[in-house]
Amino acid sequence: MEHIHSLLAVSGSLLNASATNTTLVSDCSWPPLTRFVLTNITGVGVQCWAKLALLGAVIELCRRTLNVLWRWLLDLPWITITFSEEDVAYSWILCWLSQHPSWQHARTAQITTRNYGLQPSRTWCQQAFGGDGDGDQPTSYIPSLYKVHYLWYRYHCIRVSRSRSSESSMSHPIETLEIQILALSRTILDTLLSDAKKSYKDAKASMVSVYTANEYYEWVFVAAQPKRSLSTVILDPGVKEEVLSDVVEFNRSGQWYADRGIPFRRGYLLYGPPGSGKTTLIRSIAGELGLDICIITLSKAGLDDDKLQSLISRMPDKCIALMEDIDVAFRHERNQRLLSGDTNLKHGDLSTTTSALSAMPTSGVSLSGLLNVLDGVALQDGRLLFATTNNYGALDPAICRPGRMDVHIKFHNASKYQAGEIFKAFFSSPSSASAGPVEESGNSLTTAGAVDGDGLYAKEVTPLLNVESSPPAGQEVKNGPPIGITVPHSVACELARRFSEAIPEREVSVAALQGYLMAYKTRPFDAVRDAPAWISELRGQKGQGESPVEASGDQGSPSTASGVTPEAPVARADQ
């Protein structure tokens, strides 16, 4: 309308000018050349131009109005809704779309290996192609970019279009998905949304989503990992149960914290040698509580205090914040303070020389920046924060104090108990806890090796072998030999006892035991027989009497300031 007004104003002034034309031109005070120009530009020609311009403007106005009206009429029966990639609802709808059967007939679609939290078997293409099952990347179909797709949903036509904003130096391109439903009532939209949410939740029921920060310091989904049952985490009796009950209790204490004005957040510090199960425990607690995991890498290039604060404050809901190897980011800072004779640092040794300091990677995050984060300044209420370290002694006491790291959990190399339990986890068949029928299995339980070896097991364990061995429950033997075998519970217990006798207390990590047993997946007897030789080999590698695995790293005694007892595997810093 503004255009039309200005056009009318211009043409009006031109017409006025032409009305006064005679007066202007006949004014003899003008020089001859000026009078000539005035005569030509204010003559009848201008009037015609003005009329033409007016007509053109009116026609353009009508055309545009009709166009808008037509589009409005076309869009009238469509309910339109837009999803942005930055929102979790985007994953719901893409997950739902990837399961829609219409893709079986689609002639244009995009294939993605990103599963949007789906279990691979849930996508129709996997069903159609017989699933992968061989470790291939799961794939699913989603709408192609910049194409319009039509599909049917509960007797309604749905129009789907996916687009991506252009990339700028400040932000990365963001995808949006527009869904239009041909319907008069909005009810169908609500149904669609709840269906999409439900299918996403169902698909995710057995998965833990993992998020990390991208180069723009935004949280991005990187993987959906299958939940790991807490029963598969082998720790000394009572440890994992105690941690889980602490987390559960915290989750329902919101009001208690609010009443006392205490920041509603809780920090857990898991420390101990590599491969002792720290990350594994966090992952299974996340699965147990239906939480996702946001991994914060403090040594990430470009990360500084502000970006860390902003990342922490924008963590997705229902997420555990996980800071792995929390000591690494500050090793440089700490060593410099030690070299400069800072007496506040009481525990831990200087881990490098002055010359090596300059070569160490530095973090843009300062200790005070991290302490602010741990204090919960930017943390949303109810946030669980887990940190892990192999080098407890290297941590600044300020990090470990109650209110920042409330619970300290010490991990060790494997005990004899853990060695026995991991053996059972590999080979025990829960279904055959009671003895099964007397029958020699196809792969002979690899008893040939055991019996033919040195005859040790032939005498002592053979009576236990009057039972059938089988692949682990639920594991189908498709092609070739089984991936692993299980033996009846009673046999497994006896072998586990012998295995644990061969494993020295606290010398080998659980991860190392797992690696050893992996090589004997189908040979439990050989695993027991060869264990002493394996241990001496490891000892030989590191020198007689020395730990065969990496030094535990927690040589520094735990901070007395935090009140942590070194012997207690789980210690609350706030007690």
Ligand X SMILES: Nc1ncnc2c1ncn2[C@@H]1O[C@H](COP(=O)(O)OP(=O)(O)OP(=O)(O)O)[C@@H](O)[C@H]1O
Question: Helix crossing, 524-542 with 416-427: angle to 10°?
Answer: 140
Pick 140 or 280: Cβ nearer ligand X: 280
Sign of CA dihedral 24, 27, 32, 34: negative
Pick 18 or 276: Cβ nearer ligand X: 276
Residue appearing with tokens 């009329």 = 51
Q: Tell me if 296 contacts ligand X by CB under 6 A.
A: no
Contacts with ligand X in 503-522 (CB under 6 A)? 510-511, 514
Q: Tell me if 284 contacts ligand X by CB under 6 A.
A: no
Smallest gap, in angstroms, from Cβ of residue 401 to ligand X?
Answer: 22
> Is the separation of the CB atoms in 495 and 427 below 8 Å?
yes
Which one among 235, 329, 374, 467 touches ligand X, defined by CB under 6 A? 235
Residue appearing with tokens 């609802």 = 89
Pick 82 or 475: Cβ nearer ligand X: 475
Smallest gap, in angstroms, from Cβ of residue 75 to ligand X?
Answer: 53
Give, for 148, the enclosing helix (H) or strand (E). strand 148-153
Which one among 274, 287, 420, 471 touches ligand X, defined by CB under 6 A? 274
Smallest gap, in angstroms, from Cβ of residue 235 to ligand X?
Answer: 5
Q: Tell me if 529 contacts ligand X by CB under 6 A.
A: no
3-state secondary structure of 528: helix
* Token pair in block for residue 207: 């998965």
* Token pair in block for residue 532: 């002493």
Contacts with ligand X in 361-420 (CB under 6 A)? 388, 390, 411
Pick 383 or 410: Cβ nearer ligand X: 410
3-state secondary structure of 208: strand
Return the C-alpha torsion angle 487, 489, 495, 500, nearest 10: 130
Query: Which whole-number Å values give the CA distances from 269 to 194, 242, 505, 557, in the listed order?
Result: 38, 14, 24, 15
Pick 162 or 300: Cβ nearer ligand X: 300
Which one among 102, 279, 441, 443 touches ligand X, defined by CB under 6 A? 279
Closest among 475, 496, 472, 506 to 486, alpha carbons compared: 472
Query: Which whole-number Å values give the CA distances from 472 to 353, 426, 451, in the listed order?
Result: 51, 9, 23
Pick 389 or 432: Cβ nearer ligand X: 389
Which one among 230, 234, 308, 374 touches ligand X, defined by CB under 6 A? 234
Overall residue count recorded for the chain in this entry = 575
Pick 188 or 282: Cβ nearer ligand X: 282
Give, for 244, the enclosing helix (H) or strand (E). helix 239-251
Which one among 11, 98, 276, 470 touches ligand X, defined by CB under 6 A? 276
Closest among 144, 118, 143 to 131, alpha carbons compared: 118
Pick 278 or 489: Cβ nearer ligand X: 278
Q: Tell me if 500 contacts ligand X by CB under 6 A.
A: no
Smallest gap, in angstroms, from Cβ of residue 389 to ligand X?
Answer: 8
CB count in 10 Å sphere of residue 334: 20
Q: How far apart are the first and last CA of the chain?
A: 73
Q: Tell me if 548 contacts ligand X by CB under 6 A.
A: no
Pick 120 or 277: Cβ nearer ligand X: 277
Smallest gap, in angstroms, from Cβ of residue 128 to ligand X?
Answer: 33
Pairing of strands 570-572, 407-410: antiparallel
How many amino acids of this chain bind ligand X (CB under 6 A)? 16
Contacts with ligand X in 6-45 (CB under 6 A)? none
Residues engaged in binding ligand X (CB under 6 A):
233-235, 274-280, 388, 390, 411, 510-511, 514
